[in-house]
Chains A and B, each alone.
Chain A
């Protein structure tokens, strides 16, 4: 027991510190997982095998996974800024934490004096840890147990309501979209049809390639505006140049052959 504690305890403190100090939320979540698993082990060492299983399944399994899902949803890779925006918050927080620590150490330090009685006797009376917990759960605490079911249902409904997004505009069908386009054309002359495809050249058919109009000028609209703004649009003049060079070389070769002949 003592050995297990002294292995797990430092790991847990490290995990907790990691949770607070890592700049990326994913790292925080993973270090929290470490703390949770170690905590489960400590439960086992305190002869609470049922809670050991529940801790692994509920916390490490369900709750942490949910945290990770939400992390994925809101963006994983944005590290927090480490600049403190509220004046004096860090100093005061550190002071508060120290005060809390001192207070609790002071109050708990002398709380336990007797040697532990262990739960062995209680478990033996009920025929095992799980049976003992079950007896309390469905016996003395059955009313609380029922209340938690109401709580869980309420929480589930509440979560659904939060996650549900109200549509702010009516859904547009094909007809409405077509009408809108024609309206835009009538109002500002926007082209109602589809945009021109990107260009196809011998050396490139990427969507970053602009198309050429029959007069040889470039159709700007054939390349996505995002690509243009990023500056990855290929220069069609250059692309043309390659082909033109190739044709010119071939012609030159042809000419030389003609001369040789």
Chain B
């Protein structure tokens, strides 16, 4: 492992001094909407959109200025203030605007802004939409804090902030017990990951005396023994929780209970990719520990297959997309675990995925909008004619995710598969298999939703969504097609100072692996068409074989959690309750009964007669006087 050159960020000048505005604008929006919301019930949502747009403009200006700067001047640190200083530690709050974080800021404010606009239409009839937009703004502010922070502790603040916003938004329709339960599940499972994060940050503080990225990057090469692996694995635990990677994957499918724009923004485009960001941001640690990297690769590979498997079996359109999200993030994790060669690809795929998956989620929302909020694909069919705009934009996302030549996914995913083969043929083959399964389940989704015959339930009249919803779809659809080609030859060089990787040639012409990928994808599409395209699709789900049943049940993730964690904990708590009832309560009861008996005796002295009290006072005065005069007290 070659020691890397660490590029230190330069001090902020000019526009960069205003980087904090990116976070402050949506934070202000959240404050206004959530605290003073009653007075701006009507204009609140528009205000939220406006503030996100302002945040996007700031991010864009900073990006343009970075483009214009020489490569070693692009990473800028913007110190804000000292959060606290205790003992030998001083925690400063500051922003790090570098090549990596600005891309995230653009993704979050750009896609986030489009989703805000979309929500104007999607949530138009919800009574609590002002609150919804307040939560969305809160999420954007927290997410920007996460990616712009210049040290792990501030990052953790944003990390928890997005967790909170995610909880609030999954459970936004809290009147549904399933939504409330899903929100709790997401929150609790994320705590497991956060536990890893806290331990990782604590270890950093102990090892480096600081949690700032700069100090960690400088200090990492000096680490001894297994500490790099320890920190790496702890960070990976945190990443698994936030990014729904195996073994902490179970919450993401239930999180689909939230409104669809939330699924698009939080559970597809931005928050769930925070784990990938964390691994890439901590590359200095991971580069030092092949074991931790291997763990990342294994987690990514397992998740990409598990997500694809689940996506294949589900009939709920949002859950198919959720499984797909898991799977795609698995790809990113895999790439991030490969090391310097993969970081840029991980981020590349993250960005393109952010565009095309948000596009597809919003498209699914548009479909649900037209189908009276029915999510079962078995009740769809032949919608291409009735929702043309949704169909075409969704189709763009479809082509991008299966990796149709020259679309976004073609570039980003194929690079990952190539890199995986370069690391190990086994991992590469599994990634290749994943690509085929992806093509299969996405084709299935397209055929069940837009193709075939009508299988609508009575009283459904599909209609195209209003312009406020379709315009974001068109923009994201266009991005799904061209984003890959635009960034393909540029992003490696751009990210090199931030991730420490060295760019290697990528060509537009497919390599051997590229051809293989295309063949596997085509096979996946063909199989899907043979199975779902030629025969009518039954309105009731057939019983299916063992594989399908496992997929439908989220690979028994819940049952596993229940058996391995919930039941033992319940047993322990029952034992604790029994212990509490017998031993501790018995002791306390005995004590309190004794005190009660004693106080019954003591109560006898309290007659309630003023005269007895006067007598007591007089006797007391005499006693005190005697003591004082005789000097008994010393």
Q: How far is A89 from B607 in the complex, measured between Cα atoms in Å?
A: 12
CB B622 to nearest CB in A, in angstroms, measures 4
Residue interface mask B617-634, A partner, CB < 8 A = 1: 011011001100100000
Q: Is A103's beta carbon under 8 Å from chain B?
A: yes
**Nearest A-chain residue to B622, judged by Cβ:** A99
Using known A-B contacts A96-B618, A99-B619, A100-B618, determine if residue A86 contacts B629 with beta carbons closer than 8 Å. Answer: no
Which of the 9-residue segments B456-464, B531-539, B608-616 touches chain A? B608-616
CB A98 to nearest CB in B, in angstroms, measures 9
User: Are A92 and B625 in contact, with the CB atoms below 8 A?
Assistant: no
Q: How far is A107 from B625 in the complex, measured between Cα atoms in Å?
A: 9
Q: Name the interface residues of A57-103: CB closer than 8 Å to any CB of B.
A: 86, 89, 92-93, 96-97, 99-100, 103
User: Are B609 and A100 in contact, with the CB atoms below 8 A?
Assistant: no
| Residues in B whose Cβ lies below 8 Å from that of A100 | 618, 621-622
**Nearest A-chain residue to B623, judged by Cβ:** A99
Partner of B615, one of A89, A104, A107: A89
Q: How far is A106 from B628 in the complex, measured between Cα atoms in Å?
A: 12
| Residues in B whose Cβ lies below 8 Å from that of A93 | 611, 615, 618
Q: How far is A144 from B287 in the complex, measured between Cα atoms in Å?
A: 81
| Residues in A whose Cβ lies below 8 Å from that of B622 | 96, 99-100, 103
Q: How far is A100 from B629 in the complex, measured between Cα atoms in Å?
A: 13
CB A147 to nearest CB in B, in angstroms, measures 26
User: Are B612 and A86 in contact, with the CB atoms below 8 A?
Assistant: yes
**Nearest B-chain residue to A85, judged by Cβ:** B609
**Nearest B-chain residue to A106, judged by Cβ:** B629
| Residues in B whose Cβ lies below 8 Å from that of A92 | 615, 619
CB A226 to nearest CB in B, in angstroms, measures 36
**Nearest A-chain residue to B617, judged by Cβ:** A96
CB B632 to nearest CB in A, in angstroms, measures 14
Q: How far is A99 from B626 in the complex, measured between Cα atoms in Å?
A: 9
Chain B interface, number of residues (Cβ within 8 angstroms): 12
Q: How far is A107 from B622 in the complex, measured between Cα atoms in Å?
A: 12
| Residues in B whose Cβ lies below 8 Å from that of A104 | 625
Using known A-B contacts A92-B619, A96-B618, A97-B618, determine if residue A103 contacts B629 with beta carbons closer than 8 Å. Answer: yes
| Residues in B whose Cβ lies below 8 Å from that of A99 | 618-619, 622
Q: How far is A89 from B616 in the complex, measured between Cα atoms in Å?
A: 10
Residue interface mask A100-144, B partner, CB < 8 A = 1: 100110110000000000000000000000000000000000000
CB A168 to nearest CB in B, in angstroms, measures 26
| Residues in B whose Cβ lies below 8 Å from that of A96 | 615, 618-619, 622
CB A106 to nearest CB in B, in angstroms, measures 7
Q: How far is A103 from B625 in the complex, measured between Cα atoms in Å?
A: 7
| Residues in B whose Cβ lies below 8 Å from that of A97 | 618
CB A241 to nearest CB in B, in angstroms, measures 60
Residue interface mask B352-377, A partner, CB < 8 A = 1: 00000000000000000000000000
Q: How far is A86 from B613 in the complex, measured between Cα atoms in Å?
A: 12
CB B400 to nearest CB in A, in angstroms, measures 81
Q: Name the interface residues of B576-634: CB closer than 8 Å to any CB of A.
A: 607, 609, 611-612, 615, 618-619, 621-622, 625-626, 629
**Nearest B-chain residue to A93, judged by Cβ:** B615
| Residues in A whose Cβ lies below 8 Å from that of B618 | 93, 96-97, 99-100
User: Are A107 and B612 in contact, with the CB atoms below 8 A?
Assistant: no
CB A156 to nearest CB in B, in angstroms, measures 25
CB A83 to nearest CB in B, in angstroms, measures 14
CB B77 to nearest CB in A, in angstroms, measures 63
CB A125 to nearest CB in B, in angstroms, measures 37
User: Are A86 and B621 in contact, with the CB atoms below 8 A?
Assistant: no
Which of B607, B609, B619, B622 has the most CB atoms of chain A within a 10 A radius of its CB? Answer: B622
Q: How far is A100 from B621 in the complex, measured between Cα atoms in Å?
A: 8
Q: How far is A86 from B609 in the complex, measured between Cα atoms in Å?
A: 9
| Residues in A whose Cβ lies below 8 Å from that of B609 | 86
| Residues in B whose Cβ lies below 8 Å from that of A89 | 611-612, 615
| Residues in A whose Cβ lies below 8 Å from that of B625 | 103-104, 107
CB A62 to nearest CB in B, in angstroms, measures 25
Q: How far is A100 from B614 in the complex, measured between Cα atoms in Å?
A: 13
Q: How far is A230 from B358 in the complex, measured between Cα atoms in Å?
A: 100
CB A36 to nearest CB in B, in angstroms, measures 22
User: Are A107 and B611 in contact, with the CB atoms below 8 A?
Assistant: no
Using known A-B contacts A96-B615, A100-B621, determine if residue A86 contacts B626 with beta carbons closer than 8 Å. Answer: no
User: Are A86 and B619 in contact, with the CB atoms below 8 A?
Assistant: no
Could you pull out 10 A-B pairs where Cβ atoms are within 8 angstroms?
A86-B607, A86-B609, A86-B611, A89-B615, A93-B611, A96-B618, A99-B622, A103-B622, A103-B629, A106-B629
Given A89-B612, A107-B629, 9 more contacts at CB 8 Å? Answer: A86-B609, A86-B612, A89-B611, A96-B615, A96-B622, A97-B618, A99-B618, A99-B619, A106-B629
In order of increasing CB-CB distance, the 6 nearest A-B pairs are A99-B622, A96-B618, A103-B625, A96-B619, A103-B622, A100-B622
